[in-house]
Amino acid sequence: GEAEGPRDALSLEDILRLYNQPINEEQAWAVCFQCCGFLSTEDARGRRAPRPRALSAAQIRLWRDGAVTLAPTGESLHDAGKLEYSRSTETEVIESLGIIIYKALDYGLKENEERELSPPLEKLIDLMANTVEADGSNDEGYEAANEGMEDEDDEKRKISAIRSYRDVMKLCAAHLPTESEAPNHYQAVCRALFAETMELYTFLTKIK
Amino acid sequence: KGKSLYKIKPRHDSGIKAKISMKT
């Protein structure tokens, strides 16, 4: 058992292992939204946590209140100075996050099996992980910051490339019947996931 | 409280699983 004592946070990896099954689609949307919310706030405050290139489900933390944060990898922290400079770009973090979320949806499936995802969620992951088939006009680049003059409404209607945490959040919000409900709704989904997992954890600890 | 059910299909070469695998 990796987990001991009462906890305020569970990693996505803990959750997958405890249930021994994949997360559901609603949880995937919620973790994406909440995690990108955290990351965009971190960036806005100008105090980015150092983030190595390859993230894992162990670094995604779900908190009791439904917040989702991204923890830096422990071992690399000793290398302080160097890591600050080698931290990932926003698109790289989004790509890693998309891959982690896909793997959480795919958890426990055999190599020759594939889960049928709803088209909007598959599209979100495709965009996040940057695996969308190029259709000619797709010139995204890691360092390219062509933000500038984008029409807000147009962007909301169809996002063909994700460049920021805010883009991910917009897509997650657009998935809901009422977009303005997104923060409350997704927080509640994550809070429930945490609570249910803790319940299961407590139960399993007792019978052990 | 149960998790929603999901359908499993055979892995497709052009599917998202294959594309994600290539990234990792």
ipTM: 0.88
Please answer yes or no on whether A99 and B12 come within 8 Å at the CB atom: no
Decide if pLDDT at A15 tops 60.
yes
Residues 6+ apart with CB under 8 A from A163: A90, A91, A140, A145, A147
Do A114 and B4 make contact, defined as CB atoms within 8 angstroms? no
Whether the per-residue pLDDT at B1 is higher than 50: the answer is: no
Cβ-defined contact of B20 to A111 (cutoff 8 Å): no
Chain A interface, mutation test: which of B1, B6, B24, most A Cβ atoms within 10 Å? B6
Determine which of A44-48, A83-87, A129-133 has the lowest per-residue pLDDT on average.
Answer: A83-87
The answer on pLDDT for A151 being more than 70 is no
Which of chain A's residues have a Cβ under 8 Å away from the Cβ of B13? none
Average pLDDT over residues A143-151: 45
Of the listed ranges A3-12, A57-66, A192-201, the least confidently predicted one is A3-12
The residue among A193, A38, A22, A189 whose CA lies nearest residue A102 is A22
pLDDT-derived band at A144 (thresholds 50, 70, 90) equals very low
At residue A172, what is the residue type? C
Q: How many C-beta atoms surround the C-beta of residue A170 within 10 A?
A: 20
Q: Please list every residue in chain B whose beta carbon sits closer than 8 Å to the beta carbon of residue A24.
A: 3-4, 6
Q: What is the pLDDT of residues A18-57, one digit of tens each?
A: 999 999 999 999 999 999 999 999 766 665 555 555 689 9
pLDDT over 60 at A120, yes or no:
yes
C-beta atoms surrounding A140 within 10 Å: 15
Q: Give the pLDDT of residue A77.
A: 44
Mean pLDDT of all residues in B1-22: 85
Taking the CA atoms of residue A16, residue A55, residue A67 and residue A165 in that order, the dihedral angle to the nearest 10 degrees is -130
Q: Residue A19: list chain B partners with CB under 8 A.
A: 3
Listed in sequence order, the residues at least 6 apart from B11 whose beta carbon sits closer than 8 Å to its beta carbon are A111, A112, A113, A114, B17, B18
Using the predicted structure, report yes or no on whether residue A115 has a pLDDT greater than 80: yes
User: Which of A109, A125, A126 is facing B8, going by the closest CB pair?
Assistant: A109
Q: Chain B contact for A118, CB < 8 A?
A: no
A123 touches chain B (CB under 8 A): no
Shortest Cα–Cα distance, A114 to chain B (Å): 5
Least confidently predicted of A52-66, A117-131, A137-151: A137-151
